[in-house]
Chains A and B, each alone.
Chain A
Amino acid sequence: SQQGEEDPQALSIQEGENATMNCSYKTSINNLQWYRQNSGRGLVHLILIRSNEREKHSGRLRVTLDTSKKSSSLLITASRAADTASYFCATGPPGYSGGGADGLTFGKGTHLIIQP
């Protein structure tokens, strides 16, 4: 079963606007990761947030984590046409440290379209 579930499934906004995607998960986690997938390509890692962190920034990306609600959000500010892609949250099993030694469970993703 899917650990992470992204919301919304699809999002279309104008270039320059902010895009917010949400992820909910079911079990305890050590960290949560966000990945991007462009059409026809593999997934690219964007950002990792640990369970003891509440917010993390990387360039135009802002990720929040609420472990009490088992949810996370990804905010992309000042969106660009190049941000058009699918975005996935992923979690490892409890005890997973992000060291890459365990497989990840992915949600079904949010398909983001940035209109020029």
Chain B
Amino acid sequence: DAGVIQSPRHEVTEMGQEVTLRCKPISGHNSLFWYRQTMMRGLELLIYFNNNVPIDDSGMPEDRFSAKMPNASFSTLKIQPSEPRDSAVYFCASSQNQPQHFGDGTRLSIL
């Protein structure tokens, strides 16, 4: 079975640019989560959706961050404008009455 699919795997861009990260959850899962991982802060929950509806976005660091889930098979996390401190690995995870299943992440570098 296909796991959670994230794209791109790596992204390098200059500060001020818009960045869009994409996630395809496991089919049939009704919860989707976005996390960010850095050496300093570890793994942080940014936002999560249940049945495509955002439930808790209190972890989103600033208004520069936004996330959408237009349907059950796709979600995006957008940063506009990007800043060097946004550099991190961003993970998407999904679940359906089971523990969370993670994608392999997007490694984002903002120069």
Q: Which residues of A contact B (CB under 8 A)?
A: 2, 33, 40-45, 48, 88, 98-109
Contacts and interface: CB of A to CB of B under 8 A. Distances in A.
Given A41-B104, A42-B4, 4 more contacts: A40-B104, A42-B104, A99-B95, A100-B94
Contacts of B56: 102-103
B42 A2 contact: yes
A33 B99 contact: yes
Nearest to A108: B42
Contacts, number: 61
Interface of B: 4, 29-31, 33, 35, 42-43, 45, 48, 50, 55-56, 59, 91, 93-105
Nearest 6 A-B pairs (CB), nearest first? A100-B95, A42-B102, A103-B45, A45-B99, A108-B42, A106-B43
By DSSP majority rule, is chain A's interface helix, strand, loop, or mixed?
A: loop
Nearest to B107: A40
- The interface centre, meaning the residue of B33, B42, B48 with most chain A CB atoms within 10 A of its CB, is B42
A102 B48 contact: yes
Nearest to B48: A103
